[in-house]
Amino acid sequence: MAEMSRRLRARLARDFPAPGAAPELIRLVEVASDSERVQAAIVLAARGDLGMIRHGVKLAGEDWRDVLVNGGLENEDWPAVLGRELGPDD
């Protein structure tokens, strides 16, 4: 289990602002993948929808490539997309 990056934690907290939501969601996403790219794809695809976070976590266990497609991080430009969506790398 890889610890979620600071920039992704900030994005998740913005997308899920309910008090106490972020720590549990961070834990779920961290368990799904060791890759910031896959973790970010889960969060980006969810667009603030808790059900979609759960779907992304489940999908990551089945085929992480589908998670990348859902989150818009499947192409070679994925580092630039992450930069636009999350800000500069930690």
6-44 per-position pLDDT tens digit: 999 999 999 999 999 999 999 999 999 999 999 999 999
Position 62 pLDDT exceeds 90: yes
Reading the block at residue 11, the tokens are 């994005």
Q: How many CB atoms lie within 10 A of CB 85?
A: 16
Q: In which residue are the tokens 């972020």 written? A: 22
Q: What is the 3-state secondary structure (H, E, C) of the chain?
A: CCCCCHHHHHHHHHHCCCCCHHHHHHHHHHHHCCCHHHHHHHHHHHCCCHHHHHHHHHHHHHCHHHHHHHHCCCCCCHHHHHHHHHCCCC
Position 88 pLDDT exceeds 80: yes
| Confidence category of residue 71, pLDDT binned at 50, 70, 90 | very high
Q: What is the pTM of this model?
A: 0.95
| pLDDT at 86 (0 to 100) | 96
| pLDDT at 1 (0 to 100) | 65
